[in-house]
Structure 1
Amino acid sequence: MVSLPVSVNSHASSVPILNGTNFSEWNEQVQFNLGVLDLDLAFQIEKPTAITGESSEEEKSLHKVWEKSNRLSIMFKRKTIANNIKTTLPQTDSAKEYLKNIEERFRTADKSLVGKLMADLITMRFNGTRSMHEHVLDMTNLVSKLKTLGMNVDETFLIQFILNSLPIPYGPFQIYYNTIKNK
């Protein structure tokens, strides 16, 4: 198999910058890119024991690969975090611990984002400025965002939210849908 050089920088530039409101999306993209780059070993196994005079070549090799994975993972994450956030995070030499610190910092931000997205979903109304297709896609996208934040919206509820978002002239459509659904 031929190994092609991959630019870590190009992968990092494809990750949205962590800005305080997008932790779940950022984390998913970071983990994916570290996996693609084969730099996620530091997350898969604990730090190997220190190298000693009696360490085997296999142990030395594992330690070297793990250290590289850990170091580059931290650098990758730091490159994808907004400066005002980066400076407030505690320094650590462990990629796992660094991610844990970030997760703790943004757990509450995700909870408030869930509330906002749910409010948007519940109050969204079709006003005719866009197509019906775009309206339904917008609502479906909100549900997808909620799912990435750990909030599952059942398909039946999504359909009901969509029906409720329609103006009065769509009343016959709603009645027809409810009639065929109940058969």
Structure 2
Amino acid sequence: MCLIFVKGAIPREVIGGIIDSNDIKTYLTNIEESFEFAPETHANTLVNEMITSHYDGKSGIRKHILEMTHMANQLRSMDMKISDGFLVHIIMKSLGPNYDPFKTKYNTQKEEWTIQELILRSVEEEERQKAEK
């Protein structure tokens, strides 16, 4: 009964790519194997997304930084070495030209910011820019 339900829930275009079985456990394993992808592919996708990401100015800078941090954490879980300092630089690179004075201020300081400091200062800068409008 479960097997009939599972097969009925899969679109016809997809079901042809799955090795058939009369056993639900085997069938689910076959589904999993049919849609597995190499971790390297996912890592490449995340790296590209991080490098090409740009803050849109609408969604909130905190959200943008947290999304970038989430991508970095996913890469770290794949044994990719990403320091917080490097992540801060990637995030700074993703900010638009209206954040250039903010980036300059960061670059002229001797200390590197943590992600939490970046979030705090970025949110303050975002609020300052909103107040000026």
- 1:143–1:152 Cα contact (<8 Å) kept: no
- The runs of 5 or more residues in structure 1 that have no matched partner are 1-70
User: 1:47-95 CA deviation, whole Å, 9 max, x = no partner?
Assistant: xxxxxxxxxxxxxxxxxxxxxxxx52x3454355333112321211223
| Kept in 2: contact 1:89–1:101 (CA 8 A) | yes
| Identical counterparts, % of pairs | 24
More helix as a share of residues: 2
Runs (4+) off by over 6 Å: none
Cα gap change, 1:163 to 1:135, in 2 (>3 Å): same
Secondary structure of 2:18's aligned partner = coil
Q: Structure 1 residues 136, 80: closer, same or farther in 2, change over 3 A?
A: farther
How many residue pairs get aligned? The number is: 108
Q: Does 1:174 align with 2:121?
A: no
When normalised by structure 2's length, the TM-score is 0.54
1:128-182 deviation line (CA, Å, top 9, x unaligned): 24321232233245456x46xx636656254443233224333245337760559
Residue 101 of structure 1, aligned match among 9, 24, 30: 30
1:116 counterpart letter in structure 2? T
Mapped partners of 1:89, 1:123: distance in 2: 35
Question: Mapping of 1:1-183 within 5 angstroms?
Answer: 72=2, 74-75=3-4, 77-108=6-37, 112-143=41-72, 146=74, 151=78, 154=82, 156=84, 157-167=86-96, 168-175=100-107, 179-181=111-113
Q: Structure 2 unaligned runs (5+)?
A: 115-133
Amino acid at match of 2:78: M
Q: Secondary structure at the match of 1:122?
A: helix
Larger CA Rg, structure 1 vs 2: 1
CA offsets 1:5-34 (integer angstroms, 9 cap, x no match): xxxxxxxxxxxxxxxxxxxxxxxxxxxxxx
Shift of 1:110: 6.5
Q: 1:122 touches 1:161 (CA, 8 Å); kept in 2?
A: yes
Cα 1:108–1:91 shift into 2, 3 Å:
same
Query: In terms of mean alpha carbon deviation, does 123-132 or 154-163 score higher?
Result: 154-163
